[in-house]
Structure 1
Amino acid sequence: MAEILIIEDDVAIHSLIKETLDLHGYNTISAYSGTEGKMLIAQNNVDLVLLDLMLPGMNGKEFLQEIRSYSTIPVIVITAINDQNWIVELLTNGADDYITKPFNVKELLARISIQLRHASKFSVGNSAEIQYKDIRVNLDTREVIINDQTLSLTGREYAILLLFLENPQKVFSRANIYESVWNEPFFDNNKTINMHISNLRSKLNLANTAYIKTVWGIGFKFD
């Protein structure tokens, strides 16, 4: 079963999450600060992180920025802040999803399941690599390299890139991308797709090619 790291310093909330996940068969690891969480990731094979933001020492935002420098592990942020600008900043800085406090445990379980299902979609048993022009992707380590430089991608950005790499020249509507990557019905959420595409384009700038093309009135393609 998946190994989930809980980084939450509120003992009551931490206990609620742990008991819920244990009850549903997940293996859990507990951390009460960002520094402790970083250490546990280095020591364990963690499949997903549940991350509080207001943490002692290294806070959640700092933890997220650091972990994204070397890992695409799915991270769901748990926060009491319900401000859209703040949420957009979190997603831009590497969060794969978020849930606001107080939360429904059924919703939390559903979001965890979606992230794990999506991550496992691209896991392989044998070493495999995708190469397209200047881009190399190691499917085992989820490492993305352009011109000998490693990119730091979020889980969503990595999934969108793989979708394009597996289907070069195919035109994807925003609904196609959202439903393939998020595994949820698309509800005209153009802002979310546009933000992730914009971030991915910026990170691919190391290449000598503008890979992601906008097909006006339809969506995007990888060329």
Structure 2
Amino acid sequence: MVLIVEDDKQAGRLLGDIFAEQGWRVVAARTGPDGIRMAHAEHPDLVLLDLMLPFKSGDEVLAAIRAESQVPVIVVSARETTRTKIDLLHMGADDYVTKPFDVDEVVARAEAALRRAGSAGTVGVVHEAAGLLLDETERRATAGGHELALTSTEFGLLTALIRAPRLVLSKPQLYAEVWGAEAGYDERTVNTHMSNLRRKIREASGDDPIRTVWGIGYTLRPA
């Protein structure tokens, strides 16, 4: 089920039609408080979130959702400054689409977010490396024995790294693996989500096993 939090009737109707045609059940909220309430009550598989909402802003809705859920959230907004995008990614947004949006781009980004969240199924594999334990079936990860509260994007990045612990993965490789090659490479997006992932690992374990290979990408530190 897809939750669309959008106060513009035309944009909300278009987004609803897009996902209904893909076979998804769609529910909609027109205000910030309604978006928070429906995210809590409906347990959606994906949230499409506008920023300019009545009564509570999209930033506040995102913060409220992230306080209790790691559901994929794609921001769909006319704000297109780099600072706004990076700030929202740091807050836990999985992706960002600028209005006016291309229908095919929205669908591609949504499909990539749902793949990262495991809606397309996962491989029953448990990985262990550099003090990290990751279970793809349960979609759980721990660092130093402490469970990590990861968004689907952060989990996807960690999965890519831990599947190939001795390889250096370039940023374009990680983007293609996690977001899907069709989504359009964005280095800032990789950097921001990787920063969030590393912070959570450090907070949980006091350690950071992810190494930056300058000018190339990232790898896990050898055990």
Q: 1:204 deviation in Å?
A: 1.3
Match of 2:106 among 99, 105, 108: 108
Q: For residue 169 of structure 1, what is the amino acid of its counterpart?
A: R
Provide the residue aligned with 1:5 in structure 2. Answer: 3
Q: Which region of structure 1 is more displaced relative to structure 2, 16-25 or 75-84? A: 16-25
1:62 aligned onto 2:93: no
Q: 1:132 deviation in Å?
A: 4.6
State TM-score, norm by structure 1. Answer: 0.82
What CA RMSD, in Å, does the superposition of the two structures yield over aligned residues?
A: 2.8
Provide the residue aligned with 1:176 in structure 2. Answer: 173
* 1:140-181 alpha-carbon deviations (Å, 9 max, x no partner): 564444456554433322210121222223221222211111
Quick one: structure 1 residues 32 and 130, their matched pair in 2 at CA, closer, same or farther if it must change by over 3 Å? Answer: farther
Quick one: structure 1 residues 193 and 36, their matched pair in 2 at CA, closer, same or farther if it must change by over 3 Å? Answer: same
Secondary structure of 1:120's partner?
Answer: coil
Match of 1:157 among 151, 154, 158: 154
Distance (whole Å) between structure 2 residues aligned to residue 92 and residue 181 of structure 1: 17
Quick one: structure 1 residues 90 and 159, their matched pair in 2 at CA, closer, same or farther if it must change by over 3 Å? Answer: same
8 Å contact 2:108–2:183 — kept in the other structure? Answer: no
Q: Percent identity?
A: 35
Q: For residue 190 of structure 2, what is the amino acid of its counterpart?
A: I
Quick one: structure 1 residues 80 and 54, their matched pair in 2 at CA, closer, same or farther if it must change by over 3 Å? Answer: same
- Write out aligned runs for 1:24-103 (5 A): 24-103=22-101
- Write out aligned runs for 1:132-211 (5 A): 132=129, 134-137=131-134, 139=136, 142-146=139-143, 150-184=147-181, 189-206=186-203, 207-211=205-209
Which sections of structure 2, spanning at least 5 residues, go unmatched? none
Q: 1:198 deviation in Å?
A: 2.3
Provide the residue aligned with 2:117 in structure 1. Answer: 119
Q: How many residues are matched?
A: 220
8 Å contact 2:123–2:136 — kept in the other structure? Answer: no
Quick one: structure 1 residues 9 and 143, their matched pair in 2 at CA, closer, same or farther if it must change by over 3 Å? Answer: farther
Q: Which region of structure 1 is more displaced relative to structure 2, 52-61 or 191-200? A: 191-200
Q: Which region of structure 1 is more displaced relative to structure 2, 164-173 or 48-57? A: 164-173
Which sections of structure 1, spanning at least 5 residues, go unmatched? none
Q: 1:115 deviation in Å?
A: 1.9
Q: Which region of structure 1 is more displaced relative to structure 2, 130-139 or 70-79? A: 130-139
* 1:46-89 alpha-carbon deviations (Å, 9 max, x no partner): 11101011122332111212222332211111111111111111
8 Å contact 1:7–1:31 — kept in the other structure? Answer: yes
State TM-score, norm by structure 2. Answer: 0.82
8 Å contact 1:49–1:74 — kept in the other structure? Answer: yes
